[in-house]
């Protein structure tokens, strides 16, 4: 008599845990099953929180950030478009507010999509697409910048990285010029404990010194005072690294860029932090650093029908 064989385990391809996306109160929250999460406020499509699986918040959000749409959000990743800084008087953006209207307008959630982690070990990643187009602007912004445009901003949360990328389309019949920037406020433990790598020998304008131009001499930049510098014409293949001063300059996080060849390094320091009504606590400048990937030197021209794309991927050391 044949001994009945125990059925051997049949390999089944178990589905990876799916990310969840919830929309509540003008906020979109996406989470991976392993615990990472990102929160995007529809006002400005501003990413206001990005947490790792262990709950560690990666972005600085001021305790006094205004979240009701009455002013740009102080912290997270405000999006700058179509002008960086105060608009020049002789330019088509001259009637817009500082940093333009993208961070000052309500965006819509266009959709979400998931993709499988390539190694089948981790969770899926989740991509949120947000849109802003001419018809969604206030009449005041439409009047101040009369161009027909469409923006799609994609926020992709993966295990160990956050990617934010912007597509800009000229949908009208006249060309326009723009600047854009991802104004990322990183949360850091202690501003005195970090160094910024990969900017040595690069040219920068220093806004704290009347916009004078200098060449960076330091291989590892320390922030010890108010800092507001626009580094320009960087090699897009070289990421900006925020490193630990104490730990032999080992990376704390890296910022890789595509199409964004300028980088602003900003910390308001003591007096400027106190002077900002929506910045809190006063000594919060010790726990933040803005590394802002952008295209802000000169202007990008976009002809009718053309699309421009750029973005960043942030990877913290885990
Ligand atoms: O106060 P905001 O309009 O948000 O600007 C905050 C900061 O943004 C950038 O980093 C600029 O380089 C700074 O000059 C400016 O102070």
Query: Using an 8 Å Cβ cutoff, are 83 and 181 in contact?
Result: no
Copy the structure tokens of residue 216. 């960076």
> For residue 92, what pLDDT band results from cuts at 50, 70 and 90?
very high
Please, are residues 53 and 66 in contact by the beta-carbon 8 Å criterion? no
Q: 98 C-alpha to center of ligand 1: Å?
A: 8
Could you give the percent of the chain with pLDDT greater than 70?
A: 92
Question: Which residue's entry shows tokens 């187009």?
Answer: 133
Q: What is the C-alpha separation between 162 and 169, in angstroms, rounded?
A: 23
Residue 8: CB atoms within 10 Å: 6
Question: Which residues are 115's β-sheet partners?
Answer: 125
Helix (H, G, I), strand (E, B) or coil at 135: helix
Q: Does residue 130 line the site of ligand 1, with CB under 6 A? A: no
The per-residue pLDDT for 122 is 56
Task: Provide the token pair at 245.
Answer: 């001063």
Confidence of residue 1 (pLDDT cuts 50, 70, 90): very low
User: Given this model, what pLDDT does residue 61 score?
Assistant: 98
Active site residue: 163, 177, 183, 200, which one? 183
Is the CB of 213 within 6 Å of ligand 1? no
* 3 labeled binding residue: no
> Comparing 39-48, 49-58, 107-116, 253-262, which segment has the lowest mean pLDDT?
107-116
Retrieve residue 102's tokens. Answer: 């993208």
* 99-112 average pLDDT score: 98
The response to whether residue 207 sits with its C-beta less than 6 Å from ligand 1 reads: yes
* pLDDT for the residue numbered 149: 98
Return contacts of 245-252, CB within 8 angstroms, 24+ apart.
Answer: 245/192, 245/193, 245/194, 245/195, 245/220, 246/193, 249/195, 249/197, 249/220, 250/317, 251/197, 251/317, 252/188, 252/194, 252/316, 252/317
Q: What is the mean pLDDT of residues 26-40?
A: 96
**Nearest alpha carbon, ligand 1 atom 3:** 98
From CA 311, how far away is CA 114, in angstroms rounded? 19
The mean predicted confidence, pLDDT, of the chain is: 94
Alpha-carbon distances of 262 from 186, 197, 200, 213, 259, rounded to whole Å? 17, 15, 14, 14, 9
| Domains in the chain: ranges and CATH | 20-190+265-316 (2.70.98.10)
Q: How far is CA 285 from CA 25, 50, 63, 294, 316, in A?
A: 29, 19, 12, 22, 20
Q: What is the pLDDT of residues 232-270, one digit of tens each?
A: 999 999 999 999 999 999 999 999 999 999 999 999 999
Residue 17 has a pLDDT of 78
Stretch 81-103: mean pLDDT = 98
Which atom of ligand 1 is nearest to 292's Cα? 10
Say if residue 300 carries a ligand binding annotation: no
| Arithmetic mean of pLDDT, 283-294 | 98
Q: Which atom belonging to ligand 1 lies closest to the Cα atom of 72?
A: 4
User: Could you identify the atom of ligand 1 that is nearest to the CA of residue 272?
Assistant: 16
Whether 3 has a pLDDT exceeding 70, the answer reads: no
Q: Is 108 a catalytic residue?
A: no
By DSSP bridging, strand 79-80 and strand 176-187 are antiparallel
205-214 average pLDDT score: 98
Contacts 24+ apart (CB under 8 A), 113-121: 114/18, 114/19, 116/16, 117/16, 117/158, 117/159, 120/16
Mean pLDDT score, 67-84: 98
| pLDDT band, residue 121 (cuts 50/70/90) | low
Is pLDDT at 222 greater than 90 in this prediction?
yes
What's the 296 CA to ligand 1 centre distance in angstroms? 13
Residue nearest to atom 7 of ligand 1 (CA): 266
ipTM score of complex? 0.98
98 lines ligand 1 (CB under 6 A): yes
The verdict on the CB of residue 262 being under 6 Å from ligand 1 is no
> What pLDDT does residue 115 have?
82
pLDDT, tens digit, 9 for 90 and up, residues 131-169: 999 999 999 999 999 999 999 999 999 999 999 999 999
Q: Is 183 a catalytic residue?
A: yes
Q: Classify the C-alpha dihedral 285-290-296-297 as positive or negative.
A: positive
pLDDT over 90 for what percent of the chain? 90
Q: Does the pLDDT at position 308 exceed 80?
A: yes
* Nearest residue to 34 (alpha-carbon basis) of 21, 18, 53: 53
- Assess whether pLDDT exceeds 90 at residue 123: no
Give the integer Cα–Cα distance in Å for 158 and 126.
7
């Amino acid at each position: 008599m044949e001994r009945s064989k125990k059925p051997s385990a049949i390999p089944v391809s178990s589905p990876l845990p799916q990310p969840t996306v919830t929309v509540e109160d003008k906020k979109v929250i996406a989470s991976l099953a392993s615990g990472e999460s990102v929160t995007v406020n529809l006002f400005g499509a501003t990413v206001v929180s990005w947490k790792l699986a262990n709950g560690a918040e990666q972005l600085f959000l001021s305790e006094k950030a205004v979240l009701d749409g009455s002013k740009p959000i102080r912290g997270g990743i405000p999006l700058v478009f179509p002008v960086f800084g105060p608009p020049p008087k002789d330019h088509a953006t001259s009637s817009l507010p500082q940093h333009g209207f993208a961070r000052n307008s309500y965006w819509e959630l266009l959709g979400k999509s998931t993709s499988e982690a390539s190694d089948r070990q981790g969770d899926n990643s989740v991509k949120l697409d947000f849109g802003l187009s001419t018809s969604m602007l206030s009449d005041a912004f439409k009047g101040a910048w009369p161009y027909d445009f469409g923006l799609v901003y994609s926020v992709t949360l993966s295990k160990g990285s956050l990617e934010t990328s912007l597509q800009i389309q000229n949908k009208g019949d006249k060309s326009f010029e723009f600047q854009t920037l991802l104004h990322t406020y990183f949360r850091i433990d202690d501003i005195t404990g970090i160094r910024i790598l990969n900017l040595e020998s690069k040219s920068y304008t220093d806004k704290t010194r009347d916009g004078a131009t200098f060449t960076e001499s330091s291989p590892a930049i320390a922030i010890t005072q108010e800092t507001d510098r626009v580094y320009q014409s960087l090699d897009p293949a070289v990421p900006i690294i925020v490193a630990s001063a104490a730990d032999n300059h080992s990376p704390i996080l890296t910022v890789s860029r595509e199409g964004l060849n300028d980088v602003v390094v900003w910390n308001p320091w003591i007096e400027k932090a106190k002077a900002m009504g929506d910045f809190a606590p006063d000594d919060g400048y010790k726990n933040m650093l803005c590394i802002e990937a952008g295209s802000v030197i000169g202007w990008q021209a976009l002809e009718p029908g053309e699309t421009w794309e750029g973005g960043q991927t942030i990877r913290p050391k885990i």
